Amino acid sequence: MPEGDSLHRAASRLQVLVGEQVEVETPHPRAAVKGLAAQLDGRRLEAVDAVGKNLLLRFEGGLVLRSHLRMSGRWRVEPRGAARVGKPWLVLRGPEHEAVLWSGAVLELVGDRAGPRLGPDILGEPPDYATMLRRLRGAPQERAVGDALLDQRLVAGIGNLWKAETLWEARISPWRQLSELADDELRASLEAAHRLMRAAVEGTRPLRHVYRRPGRACPRCGGIIRSAPQGPHARTAYWCPQCQVGGNPPAS
Ligand SMILES: [Zn+2]
């Protein structure tokens, strides 16, 4: 069983990634179903601490990933792109290093104890749409919907890919303010997020219509897909200005 000191050693090895924006992958199927990659990919890793028998990885936006190693789990830090055999639970990839978790055992997102609690889980069965709507309506209504959907205190679980694909599916511009959207429209986009993410969890390979496709043609209307940073963490929004109209997109 990993002892406290090996956890502290793992925490100190992981410090090379602190401050970096990380690419996140969950190659192991048992880790993939948790939807962690979608929530964490592209976020800055702010801190790594060993607390008791847990390693707590704190990401921007108040998300904390708890890793408990149990009997066989181990963290390795390797140069970016190092060759490996097998499917690790988690890979956090920075510009120069990647941290790799083997045999995850316990791997879960927990709310930041110092910060606000997470909103209802979009992958809930069934999802608590009423509370999500209440929280979205409790947020400043001048916030753009594309920014609000990534706020884990309002709705937990929607990452940057699913934000883009969900709003495209619902034909809603990420730049429209919450105040400009009817409850029906917000609810339809939450339902789309649940449907798309559920299908991905169950193994359907997600079709990307706009995510990371700037400059290409919208598969629905042929408009040219745009991208621009959005929200306090400047995460990239992708949308088709021809069939997702309205709001205040930045000038192209
Ligand atoms: Zn379009």
What lies within 8 Å, CB to CB, of 137 at 6+ separation is 178, 183
Average pLDDT over every residue of 193-197? 91
Q: What is the pLDDT of residues 145-189, one digit of tens each?
A: 999 999 888 998 888 899 999 999 999 999 999 999 999 999 999
Angle between helices 183-201 and 160-169 (to 10 degrees): 120
Q: What is the pLDDT of residues 121-139, one digit of tens each?
A: 888 888 999 999 999 999 9
Q: How far is the CA of 239 from the centre of ligand 1 (A)?
A: 8
**pLDDT category of residue 104 using cuts at 50, 70 and 90:** low
Q: How far is the CA of 158 from the centre of ligand 1 (A)?
A: 22
Q: How far is the CA of 222 from the centre of ligand 1 (A)?
A: 6
Cross-strand partners of 58 = 47, 64
| DSSP at 224 | B
Give residue 111's pLDDT.
61
The answer to whether the beta carbons of residues 136 and 210 sit under 8 Å apart is: no
**pLDDT category of residue 1 using cuts at 50, 70 and 90:** very low
Residue 159 to residue 198: CA distance in whole angstroms: 13
Query: Does residue 2 surpass a pLDDT of 50?
Result: no
H runs (alpha helix) in 51-159: 129-138, 145-148
Q: How far is the CA of 244 from the centre of ligand 1 (A)?
A: 7
Give residue 5's pLDDT.
63
Average pLDDT of every residue of the chain = 88
Nearest CA-CA partner of 114 in 56, 41, 54, 53:
56
Number of Cβ within a 10 Å radius of residue 171: 16
Q: How far is the CA of 169 from the centre of ligand 1 (A)?
A: 10
Q: How far is the CA of 216 from the centre of ligand 1 (A)?
A: 10
Q: How far is the CA of 24 from the centre of ligand 1 (A)?
A: 29
